[in-house]
Amino acid sequence: MADKTGWKDLMRGGDLPPATSREYKTGSWRSLRPVLDLSNCIHCMICVAYCPDMCIPVVRSEEGVVGRNGRIYKGLVRLETDFDYCKGCGICAEECPTDCIKMVREEVVETSSK
């Protein structure tokens, strides 16, 4: 330790730009797909708050969207799940108060949509 090196001489540690994990699509982990029936949704935001993968997008809608019983829901509304990241855990379907999400096996969804 003959030469004295100050902290300014040290190599800089690694720093990463934010939210780069978006490049890693965890949707490939999924075996069950949450199929959403928006006509029965009350936009309560429980699924959005619980979703471990933050893959339920929300928008603020002034004109509103049609939900349960044909009612128009204004303000914050949820959109279709982002299947790039959804791991298919099923928390949204389990916790939905109006049971408007059903977990369906991926291969069933794929064959029925063809």
Partner 1 sequence: MATYQDIVSKPTPLAPGHRMCAGCGIPAIVNSIIAASDKPVIVANATGCLEVTSTIYPFSAWNVPWVHLTFENAAAVAAGIETAYKALKKRGKIKDDVNIIAFGGDGGTYDIGIQALSGALERGHRFLYVVYDNEGYMNTGNQRSGATPFGADTTTVPAGTKSIGKTQWRKNIVEISAAHRIPYAAQAAAHNVVDIYNKAKKALSADGPSFLAVLQPCTTNWKYDTALTMKYSKLAVETNFWPLYEIENGKVHINYKPKERKPIEEFLKGQGRYRHLFKPENRYAIEEFQSLVDEEWERLLKLEESGAKL
Work out whether 88 is an interface residue with partner 1 (CB under 8 A): yes
Among 35, 38, 42, 89, binds partner 1 (CB under 8 A): 89
Mask for 64-83, x = binds partner 1 (CB under 8 A): -----------xx-----x-
Gyration radius of the chain over CA positions: 21
Residue 37 to residue 30: CA distance in whole angstroms: 19
DSSP line for 8-38: GGSPPPP---TTGGGGS-GGGG-SEEEEE-G
The rounded Cα 67 to chain-centroid distance in angstroms is 20
Work out whether 24 is an interface residue with partner 1 (CB under 8 A): yes
- Which residue type is seen at 82? D
Name which of 40 and 87 has its Cβ closer to partner 1: 87
Which residues on neighbouring strands pair with residue 59, listed in sequence order? 77
Smallest gap from residue 5 Cβ to partner 1 (A):
21
Q: Which stretch binds partner 1 (CB under 8 A): 4-12, 61-69, 87-95, 104-112?
A: 87-95
Residue 32 to residue 48: CA distance in whole angstroms: 18
Smallest gap from residue 73 Cβ to partner 1 (A):
12
Site of interaction with partner 1 (CB under 8 A) = 14, 16-26, 29-30, 44-46, 48-55, 58, 60, 75-76, 82, 84-85, 87-91, 93-95, 103
